[in-house]
C-alpha cells in the first residue's frame, strides 16, 4: 500500500486523511482501496477546477458533479460508485467533526441498465485452452484458463493464489475473496491436470533466483503475476483465437455461474462458490438461465414459428 500513499500527494487534506483511515481499517481489499482512491482523486480534481473545497460540497454541488460525469459519458455504474465514495468521505468527515454540506444523502443513485453479464460457450473456452502452446508460459496460461473456468475465480483471486492453496490430491483450490473471506472450490479433472502439469514442468522453469517462492502464477521474470498481467495473458489468447474482445476473465466467471445453475445447482451453492456476500448478487445469473430457457422454447415450441 506504499504506492497508494504516494498517490495521495496533492489531494485535499480531508480526502488524504480519509484514504489513510480506510487503509488503516484493514477491512478493504487492495482493489477496493484503489477504486476509492481513484474516485476521491476524481472528485478533488473536479472541486479544484471549480475553486471549491471538500467541505463546500452540498446537495446542489454534488448534483452538478454527477451531472458532469454523465455528460462526460461515464457509465451508470461508475457514477453510482463515485456517488457512494463521496458519501463515504462526507460521512466520515461528519463523524470527525468537520462541517459538510447538507442534503447529500438524499441524492439517489442512477438506475442501472438491465444488461446481462457476458458469457462464453464451452466451444469458446476450448478454443482458448487449445491456443496455449507447450512453452512454459503457454502451459502456465492453460493452467490459468482451466482454473478460471473450473472455479469462477476473480482474476485478482487467481493472482493472489499461492502454490499451497492448490490441493491436487483432493481436487480443490482455496480462494480468498473480498475481505479475505476464504472459500474452497473443487477442480474438475482436466483443470487439476493442467495445474499439475504447470507445477511440475513449467513453473520451475519460470522461477528465478531472488524471485517469488510461493506465488502460483509466475511471470517470465519469476515474479507473482498481478491481476493486470494475468488479464493481459488471457486477452492475448482471446485475440489470437479471433474471439469477441468482450470475452474477459470476468466473462469466464459469469459462464461458470450460469452453467452451474443451468446444470441444476441451487442458488445458495453458487453463491458460496462465487464468494458473493449477498444472494441478490448471484440472482443475476438466474436471469441468464431464464433467457436460455426462452431461447429453447422459441426454437422448439410448435406455436413459436421456429419449430420444425
pLDDT tens figures, 165-184: 999 999 999 988 776 678 88
Domain 122-245 has CATH 1.25.40.10: no
Dig out the grid coordinates for 301 from the structure: 415450441
Burial class (CB in 10 A: 0-12, 13-18, 19+), 252: buried
Does residue 1 have a pLDDT over 70? no
Own/partner pairs, 219-224, CB within 8 angstroms, 24+ separation: 220/136, 220/137, 224/159
- Do 2-106 and 122-245 share a fold? no
Distance CA 301, CA 308 (A): 9
Dihedral (Cα; 5, 227, 39, 183), 10-degree rounding: -100
Per-residue pLDDT band for 216 (boundaries 50, 70, 90) equals very high
Q: What would be the CATH architecture of the domain defined by 2-106?
A: Orthogonal Bundle (1.10)
Work out whether strand 172-176 and strand 182-186 pair parallel, antiparallel, or are unpaired: antiparallel
The pTM of this model reads: 0.58
Q: Rounded CA gap, 33 and 203, in Å? A: 31
Write down how long the chain is.
308
- Supply the mean pLDDT for the chain: 79
Q: Residue 132 is placed in which grid cell?
A: 496455449
Q: Which of 75, 107, 88 is nearest to 43 (CA)?
A: 88
Parse the chain into domains and list their residue ranges: 2-106, 122-245
CA distances to 125, 152, 203, 271, 272 from 282, in Å: 22, 12, 34, 6, 9
Tally Cβ neighbours within 10 Å of residue 221: 10
List, for residues 112-170, the tens digit of each pLDDT value.
444 555 778 888 889 999 999 999 999 999 999 999 988 888 898 999 999 999 999 99
Q: pLDDT value at position 117?
A: 59
Secondary structure class of 172 (helix, strand, coil): strand
Where in the sequence numbering do the catalytic residues fall?
A: 154, 178, 250, 253, 276, 285
Which set of grid coordinates corresponds to residue 137?
Answer: 508460459
Amino acid at each position: 500500500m506504499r504506492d497508494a500513499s504516494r498517490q495521495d500527494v496533492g489531494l485535499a487534506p480531508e480526502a488524504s486523511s480519509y484514504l489513510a483511515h480506510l487503509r488503516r481499517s484493514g477491512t478493504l481489499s487492495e482493489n477496493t482501496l484503489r477504486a476509492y482512491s481513484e474516485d476521491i482523486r476524481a472528485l478533488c480534481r473536479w472541486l479544484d477546477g471549480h475553486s471549491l473545497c471538500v467541505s463546500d460540497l452540498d446537495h446542489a454541488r454534488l448534483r452538478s458533479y454527477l451531472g458532469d460525469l454523465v455528460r462526460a459519458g461515464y457509465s451508470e455504474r461508475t457514477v453510482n460508485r463515485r456517488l457512494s465514495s463521496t458519501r463515504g468521505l462526507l460521512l466520515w468527515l461528519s463523524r470527525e467533526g468537520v462541517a459538510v454540506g447538507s442534503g447529500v444523502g438524499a441524492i439517489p443513485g442512477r438506475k442501472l441498465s438491465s444488461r446481462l453479464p457476458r458469457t462464453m460457450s464451452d466451444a469458446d473456452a476450448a478454443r482458448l485452452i487449445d491456443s496455449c502452446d507447450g512453452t512454459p508460459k503457454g502451459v502456465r496460461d492453460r493452467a490459468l484458463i482451466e482454473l478460471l473456468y473450473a472455479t469462477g475465480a476473480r482474476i485478482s483471486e487467481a493472482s493472489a493464489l499461492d502454490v499451497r492453496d492448490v490441493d491436487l490430491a483432493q481436487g480443490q483450490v482455496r480462494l480468498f475473496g473480498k475481505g479475505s473471506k476464504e472459500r474452497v472450490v473443487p477442480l474438475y479433472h482436466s483443470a487439476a491436470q493442467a495445474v499439475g502439469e504447470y507445477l511440475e514442468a513449467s513453473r520451475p522453469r519460470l522461477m528465478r533466483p531472488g524471485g517469488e517462492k510461493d506465488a502460483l502464477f509466475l511471470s517470465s521474470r519469476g515474479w507473482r503475476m498481478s491481476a493486470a498481467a494475468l488479464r493481459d495473458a488471457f486477452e492475448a489468447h482471446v485475440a489470437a483465437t479471433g474471439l469477441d474482445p468482450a470475452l474477459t476473465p470476468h466473462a469466464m466467471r459469469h459462464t461458470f455461474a450460469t452453467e452451474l445453475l443451468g446444470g441444476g445447482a441451487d442458488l445458495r451453492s453458487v453463491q458460496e462458490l462465487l464468494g458473493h456476500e449477498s444472494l441478490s448478487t448471484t440472482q443475476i445469473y438466474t436471469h441468464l438461465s431464464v433467457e436460455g430457457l426462452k431461447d429453447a422454447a422459441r426454437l422448439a415450441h410448435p406455436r413459436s414459428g421456429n419449430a420444425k
